[in-house]
Amino acid sequence: MTSTQDAATAAAAPGTFAPAPGDEWWRTAVIYQIYPRSFADSDGDGIGDLPGITARLDSLADLGVDAIWLSPFMVSPQKDAGYDVADYCDVDPIFGTLADFDAMLARAHGLGIRVIVDLVPNHSSDQHTWFQQALASPPGSPERARYIFRDGRGENGDLPPNNWESVFGGPMWDRVTEPDGTPGQWYLHIFDSSQPDFDWTNPEVREQFRGVLRFWLDRGVDGFRIDVAHGLIKKDGLPDYTPPADGDSMGGDDDDVPYWGQPGVHDVWRDWHEVAAEYDGDRALCAEAWLPTPDKTALWVRPDELHQAFNFPYLTTEWDAAPLRTIITESLRAFPAVGAPSTWVLSNHDVIRHASRLALSGESPQGEGIGPLSAAQPIPELGLRRARAASTVMLALPGSAYVYQGEELGLPEAVDIPDSARQDPTWFRTKHEKYGRDGCRVPIPWEASAPAFGFNATGASWLPQPASWAEHARDVESRDPESTLSLYRQLLAERRAHGLGSATFTWLDGFPATVLAFRVDDVTVIANLGDSVVALPEGRILIASEGFTGRELPADTAVWLVAD
């Protein structure tokens, strides 16, 4: 039976969704995102590194993850925390060396953990040799043709070529000074001015990245997370575009945005699919593509393209049963319909941690961040309670789930970072109007009473850690059976034991509209998103996101039930 027939069969049985066929590891994997700057710091300089990761991998094996994804650790001036790459095939000295990478990979594989690395193909750093060569070469030269250089508008070319606004704020164009000292052409950067966009219609750019893929695949990586996978191709003629006032700057809107989701990107992914297929084992390609619906996102994971795409429509759905029911249904229909697993994610290094986001007292659009003066402030106890319930739902869903470092500790967003410590380019480019993403990137706590909570031995930390994080330290939570860490360990162990990653999913009827109720094979999941208690159906409570007595499920609580 083809995957299309599978989808048709699933559609015929209301509320029941069968997983897409296939036994590749990434279809069901729980993948843990390591943000290397903030995970573990072996040399005490305040920035995490690869040997730090290697030394702490045991704790991830203990947690029960299948794979790790490392945010970029390649050579970079760190203008955007490593998402500005100056050399794609070497490790930045702040993170270690290629030998440290190999040691980390070997240790992870020894523990049965696969390793995915982050690849940033939309743009390089302005310190990349190619961009430096472009600056030193004349307009129209092959060196300039690797990036997007254009003449300016206006009499002297002193206006940008179009009206596009950078995701981080300000114009998407910067003007260069030509080698002879005269004001020159403009170059395009969707993000910071230190992150010039490549021209992906240039075959040389494509060939360079085939080489980068092979470099890491030859070293033994199990796949790639592909940064800004919806941005590589820009619409012909670069027409003016003004996004909606309340729009999502990363591209989650319905509009035909001339720099997001242009059809030409799919040729690039077909090409990369073939490169990955040259290697043995199941090497996985996962798209970071901010698109408005699962159906649109599924176009990135058609059979000859990428394998997974982050389910951002799920991440951005509020804590409300009706829209969650819709997005889960749409995801379980749309991705298997093209033969791909659905993925699930609640937090990452770009969004407000879900232990805060799910209980914000007001709106805070994606990328905006929160700080001490934000109108929207998180309610900590409510946020943690909802986060635990939300994770208990997410980790029961069939497909592959992503967990961001620290969420297994129930970490909230760090709100009170002093202005002087902030580092996100969004903070600077919006002239301090938007806080940006520093609050979800603070180094994580390992030991409550050690310097920097065990992040390193010196106490240095590139972003300050809130004192209240002592109670979230891994050593404290390890000893507490009620902790969020204990909950995640249980969720991952039972998810594996019951094969939930490849389970058939069925919605259950007969519950209030504020409840999510479904079966995944032999496990029944009930989540109460309403204000009143809900009577539980039959079954032994296998896992509960909060302790409670009796058979009435409290508000903002989720359980997994099994037959006695």
Q: What is the DSSP string of 198-237?
A: B-TTSHHHHHHHHHHHHHHHHHT--EEEETTTT-S---TT
227 is catalytic: yes
- Given the complex with ligand GLC, which of 189 and 386 has the nearer CB atom? 189
Among 228, 346, 382, 561, binds ligand GLC (CB under 6 A): 228
- Residue 61 and residue 107 in contact, taking contact as beta carbons nearer than 8 Å: no
How many amino acids of this chain bind ligand GLC (CB under 6 A)?
Answer: 9
User: 10 Cβ partners below 8 Å, 6+ apart?
Assistant: 16, 17, 18, 332, 333, 336
- DSSP code, position 27: G
Q: Report the alpha-carbon distance of residue 257 to residue 241 in Å, rounded.
A: 7
- Distance in Å, CB of 227 to ligand GLC, minimum: 5
Is residue 49 involved in binding ligand GLC (CB under 6 A)?
no
- Which residue's CB is nearer to ligand GLC, number 50 or number 440? 440
Residue whose CB is less far from ligand GLC, 194 or 465 = 194
Q: Are 205 and 240 in contact (CB under 8 A)?
A: no
Distance in Å, CB of 250 to ligand GLC, minimum: 6
- Decide: is 534 part of the binding site for ligand GLC (CB under 6 A): no
469 binds ligand GLC (CB under 6 A): no
Q: Would you say 31 or 476 has its CB closer to ligand GLC?
A: 31
For residues 367-426, which are near ligand GLC according to CB under 6 A? none
The residue with its CB nearest to ligand GLC is 83
In the residue annotation, 424 being an active-site residue is answered as no
- Three-class SS state of 117: strand
Q: How far is the CB of 404 from ligand GLC (least distance, A)?
A: 11
Are the beta carbons of 277 and 306 closer than 8 angstroms? no
**Cβ nearer to ligand GLC, comparing 288 with 305:** 288
**Which residue lies nearer to ligand GLC by CB, 49 or 350?**
350
Nearest approach, Cβ of 73 to ligand GLC (angstroms)? Answer: 14
Which pair of tokens denotes residue 267?
Answer: 């040729």
Question: Based on CB atoms, which residue is closest to ligand GLC, 79 or 146?
Answer: 79
Quote the CA–CA distance of 442 and 317 in Å, as a whole number.
24
Minimum CB separation of residue 80 from ligand GLC in Å reads: 5
Comparing CB distances to ligand GLC, the nearer of 73 and 83 is: 83
Burial (CB < 10 A; 0-12, 13-18, 19+), residue 245, is exposed
Binding mask 58-87 for ligand GLC (x = CB under 6 A): ----------------------x--x----
Is 120 a binding residue for ligand GLC by CB under 6 A? The answer is: yes
Task: Judge residue 497's burial from the number of C-beta atoms within 10 Å of its C-beta, 0-12 exposed, 13-18 middle, 19 or more buried.
Answer: exposed
d(CA 257, CA 252): 10
> For residues 445 and 406, what is the distance between their CA atoms, to the nearest angstrom?
8
Q: For residues 347 and 545, which CB has a smaller minimum distance to ligand GLC in the complex? A: 347
Residue 345 CB, nearest approach to ligand GLC (Å): 12
CA distance 496 to 64: 9
- Show the DSSP H helices in 90-226 as ranges: 98-110, 129-136, 203-219
User: For ligand GLC, what does the binding mask look like between residues 345 and 374, x meaning CB under 6 A?
Assistant: ----xx------------------------
DSSP letters for 44-81: SSSS--HHHHHHHHHHHHHHT-SEEEEPP-EE---TTT
Question: Choosing from 49, 227, 248, 408, which is the catalytic residue?
Answer: 227
Query: Which of 438, 396, 420 has the alpha carbon at shortest distance from 545?
Result: 396
Residues 274-293 close enough to bind ligand GLC by CB under 6 A: 288
Closest approach of ligand GLC to the CB of residue 334, in Å: 22
Site for ligand GLC in 486-525 (CB under 6 A): none
Alpha-carbon distance values, 11 to 3, 16, 210, 399, 511 (Å): 12, 7, 39, 18, 22
Cα dist from 499 to 29, 493, 503, whole Å: 11, 10, 6
Cβ(55)–Cβ(40) below 8 Å: yes
- Indicate left, alpha or beta for 15 from its phi (over 0: left) and psi (-120 to 50: alpha): left
Please report how close the Cβ of residue 436 comes to ligand GLC at its closest, in angstroms. Answer: 9
Task: Give whole-number Cα distances, 175 to 148, 193, 205, 235, 376, in Å.
Answer: 12, 10, 22, 21, 37
Least distance from C-beta 534 to ligand GLC, angstroms? Answer: 37
Any idea what DSSP says for residue 470? G
Nearer to ligand GLC, 69 or 453 (CB): 69
Options 84, 288, 305, 424, the catalytic residue:
288
Tell me phi and psi for residue 34, to 5 degrees. -100, 130
Task: Work out which of 17, 149, 186, 191 binds ligand GLC, going by CB under 6 A.
Answer: 191
Are 414 and 466 a contacting pair, CB within 8 Å?
A: yes
Closer CB to ligand GLC, residue 35 or residue 319? 35
The pairing of beta strand 183-188 with beta strand 30-34: unpaired
Beta strand spans in 339-471 (E): 343-345, 400-404
For the bound state, the minimum distance from the C-beta of residue 84 to ligand GLC, rounded and expressed in Å, comes to 7
Longest dimension (CA), the chain: 80
227 binds ligand GLC (CB under 6 A): yes
- The residue type of 428 is F
Q: Which residues bind ligand GLC (CB under 6 A)?
A: 80, 83, 120, 191, 227-228, 288, 349-350
Would you name the residues annotated as active-site residues? 227, 288
